[in-house]
Every structure is written in C-alpha cells, then in structure tokens.
C-alpha cells in the first residue's frame, strides 16, 4: 500500500493576528496546493506547529482540510500528523483524524521519552491497529532524540498491514539504504529533507514530505515526477537549483523560516506561537534574497 508518490506538502498552519487558527486561510492553502501540483497534504505536522495546537484545534484543522480537499476536482490524500510522546494521546488523535476524514496518519517517534526499539514497535503497532488508518512512520531523531532503526521499520512493515511508509528525516543516507534493503524496496520511503530528495529517490524512494512545497509546490512536484519518469538529469538540476533556497528555509528551526516565506509570498499566514519567535533580521534578508531569485516576494 502506497498512499502517494510525488511531493506532499508539510503544510503550515495559518494564524490570525491574535494567533487563533485562521481556518478560512487554511482552506485557501488547500485549494492552492490542489491547483498547483502538490500530490498530498500533510496537516498538523512539525511545519504545522502541531505541538502548540490544542487537541480541539488539531482535530478541526484536519477536518477543515479534509473536507475542503474532498470537494476538489483533483483528489489527493490528506495525511494527518497525529504523533505524541504519549501513546494513548496518539491513539486518540489518530482515531479522531479518521472521523475527521483523513486518509492516513503521519506519526512521529515519541519525543523526550526516547523509547527503546521494542517500545517504538509497541507504540506504532498500537496506534495503527487502534486507529485503523494507514500510517507513515516519521523518523526525525534530531528533533525527538529517538531513531527508528531499519530493522524496527522492517519488522513493523512485515507485521502490520497498515504501515504504509516512512518519512526519513534522519539525514543518514546509509540508513535510508538499509531501510530499503530490509524491506526489499516494498515500503514507501519519503525524503524528510528537501535537500535530499534526489538521493532518496535514487535509493528507491517514492517522494518527499516537503517544506519547500509550501512556496514552490509545482517545482517540488517536478523534482520527483521527472525522476520517476526516468529523467534523472532534469530532476537533479531542479534539486540543485533550489538548494540555496532550501538552506534559507532551514536557517532557523522549522517552521520559523517557512512561515516568514509564506508571508513574504503574500499568503498572510500570520506569526508563530511561542516558544517559536519571528525570524532574525539577518536570516530574513537572506531568505528574501533567495526567494527574489524566483520572483516569490510579493
């Protein structure tokens, strides 16, 4: 089971001036991505500031995005971030995501607790079986302090039919290769890093869950689509073309720069909830200069 191939956007959560969720703007962003080549919508992930959303806001964002996407002429899957460092909370959010219309979940490793590999297996198994939704594992040890080892990903994939993919944001290309090897290339692997899309595809990956897609949806889609169509040269050229912009989008912790980028591009997505703060002026100027190269500043 592969939920999607191509570029899924790790969507920002737009806020009003008072930092309440701007659900109307969220609907506009869903429309924008459906109309501009994005292959999947990932709601309430790291980029969506899920860690500062209340549970009610979290579920409502999923509901609003899924309802809007299902009205579109071009149907793409809606994947809900439902991870937590508390397994029971992740089960609850995943069940609610199904009720809200999500097609799948994206579940991060439990942060701070730093579970053992046995604990990770039990965590993901319980969430998948209780929610009855396809799941993409989310491995980002730099943020969680917890790494899904290739053998554990493979065991989950073998044992649980609902394990449908893994977002690999470890930055460790050797580990990505091991995941592909341990699963005989049958588990859908998505790059979790915009600067490693082509390297992951070259190992058998099927796409990316992307921050860059927020401001360059069609172009990020094209990096993957050209590669999968056999045009490696064009895909590689596109990957390299946007590297400096990607660097600027990660010059501070995600999603600080991409939220600034969305505002520079005229989307008016608001500020960030604390403890995240607005971008440092020096970094902002670099981001603005890189965006200007592609006529993205409004």
Q: Which residues contact 272 (CB under 8 A, 6 or more apart)?
A: 15, 49, 255, 256, 259, 278
Q: What is the CA radius of gyration of the chain?
A: 18
Q: Which residues contact 31 (CB under 8 A, 6 or more apart)?
A: 68, 72
On the CB side of 211, CA atoms within 13 Å amount to: 29
CA distances from 209 to 10, 12, 109, 295 (A): 6, 13, 16, 23
Is 280 exposed, middle or buried, given 0-12, 13-18 or 19+ CB atoms closer than 10 A? Answer: middle
Place of tokens 């939220």: 259
Alpha carbon 195 to its chain's center:
14
Active site residues: 138, 167
Buried b (16+ CB within 10 A) or exposed e, 8-40: bbbbbbbbeeeeebbbebbbbbbeebbeebbbb
């Amino acid at each position: 089971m592969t939920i999607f191939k191509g570029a899924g956007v790790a969507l920002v959560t737009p806020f009003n001036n008072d930092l309440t969720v701007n659900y109307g703007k969220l609907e506009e962003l869903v429309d924008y991505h459906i109309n501009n080549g994005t292959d999947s919508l990932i709601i309430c992930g790291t980029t969506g500031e899920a860690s500062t959303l209340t549970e009610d806001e979290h579920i409502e964002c999923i509901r609003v995005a899924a309802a809007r996407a299902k009205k579109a002429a071009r149907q793409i899957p809606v994947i809900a971030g439902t991870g937590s460092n508390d397994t029971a909370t992740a089960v609850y959010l995943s069940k609610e995501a199904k009720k809200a219309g999500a097609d799948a979940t994206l579940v991060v490793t439990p942060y701070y607790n730093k579970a053992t590999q046995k604990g990770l297996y039990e965590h993901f198994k319980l969430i998948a079986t209780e929610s009855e939704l396809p799941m993409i594992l989310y491995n980002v040890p730099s943020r969680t302090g917890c790494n899904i080892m290739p053998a554990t990903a493979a065991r989950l994939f073998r044992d649980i039919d609902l394990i449908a993919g893994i977002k690999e944001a470890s930055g460790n290309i050797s580990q990505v290769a091991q995941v592909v090897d341990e699963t005989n290339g049958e588990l859908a692997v998505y790059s979790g890093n915009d600067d490693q899309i082509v390297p992951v595809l070259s190992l058998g990956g099927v796409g990316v869950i992307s921050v860059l897609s927020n401001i360059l949806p069609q172009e990020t889609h094209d990096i993957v689509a050209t590669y999968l169509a056999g045009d490696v040269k064009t895909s590689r050229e596109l990957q390299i073309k946007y590297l400096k912009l990607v660097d600027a989008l990660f010059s501070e912790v995600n999603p600080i720069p991409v939220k600034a980028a969305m505002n520079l591009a005229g989307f008016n997505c608001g500020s960030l909830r604390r403890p995240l703060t607005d971008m440092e002026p020096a970094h902002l100027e670099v981001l603005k200069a890189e965006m200007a190269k592609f006529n993205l500043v409004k």
